[in-house]
Amino acid sequence: MLPRCLRAFSKPLCISFQESGILGKNLNRHLQFVGVNSFSSTRMSCMPQDVSLEKCSGKKDTLYKSVEIEIRSGEPAVLLSYEWFTSYAAKQLGITIGKCWAPPKAHHNRLTLLKSIHIYKKHRVQYEIRTYFRHMTYERLTESTLKTFLEYIQRNVPEGVAVKVTKKSVLNLPSSLSDSVRRLSIQ
Amino acid sequence: MSAIVNLRVFRNFQQFVSFRPISNYPTSLNKNAEVQNVEDDDFRALELRPNKSNNMRGNRRKTAYKKTPVHPPRSNKMPVDQDWPSVWPVARVFHPASVPLPLHQGWVEPGITPPGKFANAELMKIPNFLHLTPPAIERQCAALKKFCTEWPKELDTDEKIDHHFPIQITTSDYLHSSPTIRDARARIVTLQVKLSTLHLNSHAKDKLLRLVKERYDPITDILTIVSERCPLRKQNLDYAMYLLNVLVSESWKTEPWENEKSEADMEKYVWEGSQSQRTLQQLLERMPDKAPVLPEDIEQYSTNVTRFHNEGETTENVNTYKESVKKLLGLNA
Instruction: Give how far Cα B90 sits from Cα of A158, B77, B175, B180, Å.
Output: 11, 21, 20, 24
Q: What is the pLDDT of residue A183?
A: 65
Q: What is the mean pLDDT of residues A137-166?
A: 94
Give the ranges where chain B is alpha helix by DSSP (H). Answer: 2-17, 29-37, 84-87, 121-125, 134-144, 158-164, 202-212, 233-252, 275-286, 295-311, 315-329
Contact by Cβ (8 Å): B150, A142: yes
Going residue by residue through chain B (333 aa), what tens digit of pLDDT does each one get? 444 444 454 454 444 444 455 555 544 444 443 444 445 677 877 878 766 666 667 666 676 677 788 888 999 999 999 999 999 999 999 999 999 999 999 999 999 999 999 999 999 999 999 999 999 999 999 999 999 998 988 888 888 998 889 999 999 999 988 898 889 999 999 999 999 888 888 888 989 998 998 999 989 999 999 999 999 999 999 999 999 999 999 988 888 888 887 777 777 777 777 777 778 777 777 776 666 667 777 777 778 878 877 777 788 888 888 888 787 777 765
**CB contact A129 to B (< 8 Å):** no
Q: Say if the Cβ atoms of B129 and A157 lie within 8 Å.
A: no
DSSP code for A150: H
Separation of alpha carbons A106 and A73, rounded Å: 10
Chain B closest-CA separation from residue A158 CA (Å): 6
Q: Please, which residues 52-111 of chain A have a Cβ atom closer than 8 Å to chain B? A: 61, 63, 65, 75, 77-78, 81-82, 85, 88-89, 92-94
> Which residue is closest to A18 within chain B, CA to CA?
B149
DSSP 3-state assignment of A73? strand
Q: What is the pLDDT of residue B289?
A: 63
Name which of A30-34, A159-163, B8-12, B122-126 the model is least confident about. Answer: A30-34
In single-letter form, the type of residue at position B174 comes to Y
Chain B residue numbers touching A184 (CB-CB < 8 A): 199, 201, 252
Q: What is the pLDDT of residue B266?
A: 76
B329 backbone dihedrals φ, ψ, rounded to 5°: -90, 0
Overall size of chain A counted in residues: 187
A166 backbone dihedrals φ, ψ, rounded to 5°: -110, 115
Q: Which of A3, A22, A93 sits opposite B141 (nearest CB)?
A: A93
Q: What is the mean pLDDT of residues A7-20?
A: 40
Separation of alpha carbons B120 and B7, rounded Å: 10
Q: Which of A65, A92, A181 sits opposite B137 (nearest CB)?
A: A92
Q: Say if the Cβ atoms of B198 and A181 lie within 8 Å.
A: yes
Separation of alpha carbons A156 and B131, rounded Å: 9
Handedness of CA B161, B162, B165, B170 (dihedral sign): positive
Q: Say if the Cβ atoms of A167 and B171 lie within 8 Å.
A: yes
Q: pLDDT tens for residues A58-112?
A: 678 899 999 999 999 999 999 999 999 999 999 999 999 999 999 999 999 999 9
Report which of residues A6 and B24 the model is more confident about: B24
Mean pLDDT (chain A, rounded)? 75
Q: What is the pLDDT of residue A128?
A: 96
Q: Which of A17, A22, A171 sits opposite B167 (nearest CB)?
A: A171
Q: Number of residue pairs across A and B with CB atoms under 8 Å? A: 156
In single-letter form, the type of residue at position A1 comes to M
Q: Model ipTM?
A: 0.70
- Per-residue pLDDT at A29 exceeds 70: no
Separation of alpha carbons B72 and B13, rounded Å: 10
Angle, alpha carbons B64-B68-B73 (nearest 5°)? 140
Separation of alpha carbons A176 and A12, rounded Å: 40
Separation of alpha carbons B72 and B39, rounded Å: 13
DSSP code for B189: E
**CB contact A32 to B (< 8 Å):** yes
